[in-house]
Structure 1
Amino acid sequence: MEWILLGTGAADWQKPRENGEYRGYTSALLDSHILLDCTEHSLRKMQELGIEWAQVTDLFFTHSHDDHCDVEAVQAIAEARQKVHGSPLRIYGEGSWIQTLFAPEESCWQVSRLSAYEEVSCGDYRLLPLAANHRTERETEIALSYLVRRGGHAVLYALDGAWMLNKTWQVLRKTTIDAWIVDCTIGDGHEGDYRIFEHNSLPMVRAMANTLMAKTPYGPPVLKQGAPIILNHLAKTLHPCQEELEQRLQPPFVVARDGMRFRIG
Structure 2
Amino acid sequence: MKDEEVEDLEWGLEQVSINEVPRNIRQASQKAYTPQLISIGPLHYRKRNLTSISKHKVNYQEKFLQRTSKKTLESFWSFIDLKEKVILNCYEALIDEDEFVTMIFYDALFIMELFSRKYVKEMKKDSEIKDFLLKETWSAGGEDGNPTLDRFAKMPHVESDPTACLLDIKFDEHGKLKIPKLAVHSNTEAYFRNVMAFEMCHYPDEAYVCAYIEQLNHLIRTARAGIGEPPACYWATSDRLNQFCKEAWKRKVAIFMKEKYGILKRVHFPNLWRGTGTVAALTVVVLTFIQTVLAFLK
Fold shared, TM-score > 0.5 on shorter chain: no
Q: Which has the higher contact order (CA 8 A, sep 6+)?
A: 1
Identify the structure with the greater strand proportion.
1
More helix by percentage: 2
When Rg is computed on C-alpha atoms for both structures, the one with the higher figure is 2
Q: Give TM-score, length-normalised by structure 1.
A: 0.30
